[in-house]
Amino acid sequence: MSRVAVIGSGAFGAALAIALAAQHDVVLWGRETPLMERARQERRLPRLPGAILPDRVQPTGDLGAVRGAEAVLLAVPAQALREFLAAQRTVLAGAAPVACCKGIDLATGEGPSALIAAALPGSRPALLTGPSFAADIARGRPAALTLACRDEAEGARLQALLSTPTLRLYRTPDVTGAELGGALKNVVAIACGACIGAGFGESARAALLARGFAETVRLARHLGAQESTLMGLSGLGDLVLTATSEESRNFRFGLALGRGEGFAPDVTVEGAATARAALALAARCGIEMPVTAAVAGLVEGRLDAETALRLLLERPLRTE
């Protein structure tokens, strides 16, 4: 009987564990051992209210339980991934790692696959990304995601292993495009949320979505990504979902910024750090990213939503 492991018991990690339990035994690791013991007994997790953990999901606080799994899905926040890998490289040695986070590391400017490759030499890192809300996956609603892996054989193996009757995976070797599409859509979603929160309207949101996507494509293409990847699930598909729904944490965070309200401090908002990391990366590449710059200013408190939009509108007129 096959066994896979999910590291990270937040909403998305728990949802993946539930979906994969349709055809695998699943080890679900969380860092708070008492919480995971309670989850083992009650079959519930607080980050995913209303969802029941199937019997084939084994919640645990013992990281050693992931050894021997056919794939290890890393559903930890993007900004915590590098430190986690450094601390647990012995346990993860020989694992088949699949990153399930979306972001650019602030300290290194690298995506999840490069962080994994540096921490686990000899591994063949993969990335699972695309338009998906945890609640939909946990309820068994149909979703399609991108499985990105430079190693074609490993990508094909993981695609077959991790696809389920309700979770359809499309494979690509373009890890760069998949990573940047997933990371930067969170930044654009914050911009769109701030736009709506400040009362600028749907037309302004559509403009921000389109121009934000255009600068995503510019940076990704400069770094060697295929434009077709950005037009697919891991780029445009994920962006449309995240920038138009209040189920998106990044969109809700933007709404709060636009309204001048606070936001729950314990909720991970990947796009906040990614905006700053992407802006630094774009500067090194000589790529202009005005929407990303506006979001970075909002996140850092240097700009309010009205000033950020005015600065975007005052940019020199140009061809599209």
- Is 185 assigned a catalytic role? yes
**29 and 157 inside one domain:** yes
Q: Which listed residue (24, 47, 102, 185) is catalytic?
A: 185
CA gyration radius for the chain?
A: 19
pLDDT digits (tens, 9 = 90+) for 230-285: 999 999 999 999 999 999 999 999 999 999 998 988 888 999 999 999 999 999 99
**149 and 188 inside one domain:** no
Residue 28 is part of which domain span? 3-173
The residues facing 147 across adjacent strands are 128, 171
Please report the pLDDT score of residue 1 as a whole number. Answer: 58
Among the three residues 150, 173, 196, which one is the final residue of a domain in this structure?
173
**Number of folded domains in the chain?**
2
DSSP string across 189-222: HHHHHHHHHTT--HHHHHHHHHHHHHHHHHHHHH
Could you tell me the pTM of the whole model? 0.95
Instruction: Give a yes or no: residue 204 inside a domain.
Output: yes
**15 and 157 inside one domain:** yes
pLDDT digits (tens, 9 = 90+) for 130-150: 999 999 999 999 999 999 999
**222 and 282 inside one domain:** yes
**90 and 202 inside one domain:** no
Spatial distance between the Cα atoms of 111 and 129, rounded to a whole number of angstroms = 13
pLDDT bracket for residue 101 (50, 70, 90):
very high
CATH number for position 146: 3.40.50.720
Quick one: 160 exposed, middle or buried, by C-beta within 10 A (0-12, 13-18, 19+)? Answer: exposed
Instruction: Give a yes or no: residue 255 inside a domain.
Output: yes
